[in-house]
């Protein structure tokens, strides 16, 4: 039996033809040298133009190209954080943030948001944890793993907090900004707020199925871009030129690649929604963006499998699904959503269909644990 894997953050789609063709051409032209540390001029220009479509004026000098969004984040936490600074992250959030912070001077401060409240995040929720040491408020929009999109009004009310905290920056991770299903998405760059302290990170891994190319970017104040460029020049140099050429072609021809991918994602989202709705005891927030469901599985934690073993934790549930049913999902505890699992619907349709059947069967087989009185 083949493992059905819904745990990955990478989609199954092929990278755009435009990216592949441009990279091959660039390689044949001998573009195998260091790319400029701040990024290729045409790529910076093309990224800036992407925001102009949303009526945001971004100068190419405000854009820096990085080897993945991860590295954009790492650049930023390196240049912004001072000893004792705090990084505020609403949870559930992508576990990669916690991993990155291990290698920084920052101290993680979390704000729990809840499925029952549609993962809402109010300025009051944030204000409660802010201190003079708060340096970065890190939002993910659309959210991974929640799929929550913060509206323009929500973002602007959150950004208003920055006026009371002059040392605080907002970093908005918008890596899933094109994977949306109807609710309008607004970049933090298009919101009212202190522009000198708003930074967006983004990349090609999710929107364009290019995770292995390692390319992303940041858009923010020129001073921060310059400091990050200095850090990147010292550590990484620049993203390979042929990869940057591929990124330019991807953005210029995105209208060919995106609609078919989005069509599949829309259908798959519906399939997963129906599959989850057919399982008793599971509740979930319907994702507005990204490509995951993050269902609450607590109704099944505490039950027993057919061998009489108790599923005591989310990890036990993940192990049970993987080992006994060949279905792999990600443990939501790692994202700060205790008792949840993250399931990607950016997989091939037959895989998704089989996975939903398997999940239903596997959970049906779990029985209430026998209490010790029954022995
Ligand atoms: N931010 C978020 C929210 C992500 O989900 C991921 C990948 N899972 C990343 C950043 C990292 O992206 P990249 O591949 O561009 O480094």
Which one, of 81, 348, 79, lies nearest residue 225 by Cα? 79
Provide the CATH number for the domain around residue 294.
3.90.1150.10
Percent pLDDT > 70 in the chain is 99
Sign of CA dihedral 291, 297, 298, 301: negative
Whether pLDDT at 39 is above 80: yes
Choosing from 150, 206, 212, 239 the residue with most ligand 1 atoms within 8 A of its CB, the one to mutate for a pocket test is 206
Choosing from 205, 207, 211, 239 the residue with most ligand 1 atoms within 8 A of its CB, the one to mutate for a pocket test is 205
Burial letters for 169-188: b for 16+ Cβ neighbours within 10 Å, e otherwise? bbbbbbbbbbbbbeeebbbb
Kindly give the distance from the C-alpha atom of residue 311 to the centroid of ligand 1, in angstroms, as a whole number.
31
pLDDT reported for residue 112: 98
Whether residues 106 and 182 share a domain: the answer is: yes
Residue 351 resides in a domain = yes
Kindly give the distance from the C-alpha atom of residue 146 to the centroid of ligand 1, in angstroms, as a whole number.
14
Whether residues 46 and 189 share a domain: the answer is: yes
Kindly give the distance from the C-alpha atom of residue 279 to the centroid of ligand 1, in angstroms, as a whole number.
30
Whether residues 194 and 119 share a domain: the answer is: yes
Provide the CATH number for the domain around residue 42.
3.40.640.10
Kindly give the distance from the C-alpha atom of residue 374 to the centroid of ligand 1, in angstroms, as a whole number.
49
Count CB atoms within 10 A of the CB of residue 313.
15
Given the CA of residue 73, which atom of ligand 1 is nearest to it?
10
Whether residues 224 and 332 share a domain: the answer is: no
Whether residues 234 and 314 share a domain: the answer is: no
Residue 342 resides in a domain = yes
Residue 232 resides in a domain = yes
pLDDT reported for residue 1: 78
**Which single residue is written with the structure tokens 């005591």?**
312
pLDDT, mean of residues 170-183 = 98
Whether residues 275 and 343 share a domain: the answer is: yes
Whether residues 211 and 313 share a domain: the answer is: no
Residue 183 resides in a domain = yes
Mean of pLDDT over the chain: 96
Whether residues 243 and 263 share a domain: the answer is: no
Residue 87 resides in a domain = yes
Please give all residues whose beta carbon lies within 6 A of any atom in ligand 1, as ranges.
9, 68-70, 94, 96, 140, 144, 173, 175, 203, 205, 211, 216
Boundary of a domain, candidates 235, 252, 269: 252
Q: How confident is the model at residue 218 (pLDDT cuts 50, 70, 90)?
A: very high
Beta bridge partners of 218: 64, 201
What are the tens digits of pLDDT across the range 244-283? Answer: 999 999 999 999 999 999 999 999 999 999 999 999 999 9
pLDDT reported for residue 54: 85
Domain extent for 286: 4-11+256-367
pTM metric for this prediction: 0.97
CA angle 59, 62, 63 (to 5 degrees): 105
Tally of domains within the chain: 2
Helix residue ranges per DSSP H, the chain: 17-28, 41-52, 69-80, 95-101, 123-127, 152-159, 222-235, 241-252, 254-277, 314-325, 349-364
Kindly give the distance from the C-alpha atom of residue 302 to the centroid of ligand 1, in angstroms, as a whole number.
33
What are the tens digits of pLDDT across the range 295-345? Answer: 999 999 999 999 999 999 999 999 999 999 999 999 999 999 999 999 999
Whether residues 201 and 327 share a domain: the answer is: no
Given the CA of residue 204, which atom of ligand 1 is nearest to it?
15
Whether residues 141 and 193 share a domain: the answer is: yes
Cα–chain-centroid distance for residue 290? Answer: 7
Residue 161 resides in a domain = yes
Residues contacting residue 287 through CB under 8 Å, at least 6 positions apart: 142, 146, 147, 148, 181, 269, 293, 294
Kindly give the distance from the C-alpha atom of residue 207 to the centroid of ligand 1, in angstroms, as a whole number.
11
Kindly give the distance from the C-alpha atom of residue 202 to the centroid of ligand 1, in angstroms, as a whole number.
8
Kindly give the distance from the C-alpha atom of residue 204 to the centroid of ligand 1, in angstroms, as a whole number.
9
pLDDT reported for residue 373: 46
Kindly give the distance from the C-alpha atom of residue 245 to the centroid of ligand 1, in angstroms, as a whole number.
21
Whether residues 218 and 275 share a domain: the answer is: no
Beta bridge partners of 219: 63, 200
Question: CA-CA distance, 160 to 327, in Å (whole number)?
Answer: 44
Pick the more confident residue, 372 or 341. Answer: 341
Whether residues 217 and 342 share a domain: the answer is: no
Residue 373 resides in a domain = no
Residue 372 resides in a domain = no
Given the CA of residue 93, which atom of ligand 1 is nearest to it?
3
pLDDT reported for residue 371: 59
Sheet holding 330-331, edge to edge: 292-293, 341-344, 330-331
Choosing from 73, 92, 96 the residue with most ligand 1 atoms within 8 A of its CB, the one to mutate for a pocket test is 96
pLDDT reported for residue 68: 98
What are the tens digits of pLDDT across the range 61-90? Answer: 999 999 999 999 999 999 999 999 999 999
pLDDT, mean of residues 233-239 = 96
Asked if omega into 145 is within 30° of 0 (cis), the reply is yes
Which contiguous run of DSSP H or E holds residue 134? Answer: strand 134-140
Boundary of a domain, candidates 252, 279, 297: 252
Boundary of a domain, candidates 252, 277, 301: 252
Closest-CA residue, ligand 1 atom 7, reads 9
Given the CA of residue 72, which atom of ligand 1 is nearest to it?
16
């Amino acid at each position: 039996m083949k493992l059905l894997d819904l745990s990955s953050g990478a989609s199954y789609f092929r990278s755009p033809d435009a990216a592949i063709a441009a990279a091959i051409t660039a390689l044949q032209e001998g573009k195998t040298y260091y790319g400029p540390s701040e990024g290729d001029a045409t790529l910076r220009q093309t990224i800036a133009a992407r925001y102009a479509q949303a009526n945001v004026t971004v100068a190419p000098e405000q854009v820096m190209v990085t080897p993945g969004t991860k590295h954009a984040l790492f650049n930023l936490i390196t240049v912004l954080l001072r000893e004792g600074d705090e990084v505020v992250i609403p949870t559930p959030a992508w576990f990669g943030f916690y991993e990155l912070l291990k290698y920084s001077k920052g101290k993680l401060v979390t704000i729990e948001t809840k499925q029952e409240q549609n993962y809402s995040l109010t300025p009051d929720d944030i204000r409660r944890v802010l201190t003079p040491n708060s340096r970065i408020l890190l939002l993910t929009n659309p959210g991974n793993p929640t799929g929550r999109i913060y509206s323009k009004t929500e973002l602007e009310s959150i950004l208003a907090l920055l006026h009371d905290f002059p040392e605080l920056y907002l970093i908005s991770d918008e890596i899933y900004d094109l994977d949306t299903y109807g609710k309008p998405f607004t970049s933090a760059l298009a919101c009212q707020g202190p522009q000198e302290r708003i930074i967006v990170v983004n990349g090609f891994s999710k929107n364009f199925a290019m995770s292995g190319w390692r390319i992303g970017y940041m858009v923010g104040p020129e001073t921060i871009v310059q400091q990050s460029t200095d850090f990147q020049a010292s550590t990484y140099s620049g993203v390979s030129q042929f990869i940057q050429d591929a990124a330019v072609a991807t953005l210029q021809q995105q209208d060919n690649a995106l609609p078919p991918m989005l069509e599949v994602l829309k259908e798959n989202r519906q399939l997963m929604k129906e599959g989850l709705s057919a399982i008793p005891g599971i509740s979930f927030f319907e994702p507005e963006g990204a490509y995951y469901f993050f269902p609450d599985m607590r109704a099944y934690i505490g039950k027993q499998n057919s061998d009489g073993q108790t599923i005591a934790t989310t990890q036990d549930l993940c192990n049970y699904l993987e080992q006994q049913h060949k279905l792999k999902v990600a443990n939501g505890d790692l994202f700060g959503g205790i008792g949840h699992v993250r399931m990607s619907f950016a997989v091939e349709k037959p895989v998704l269909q089989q996975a939903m059947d398997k999940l239903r069967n596997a959970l049906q087989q779990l029985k209430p644990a026998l209490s010790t009185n029954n022995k």
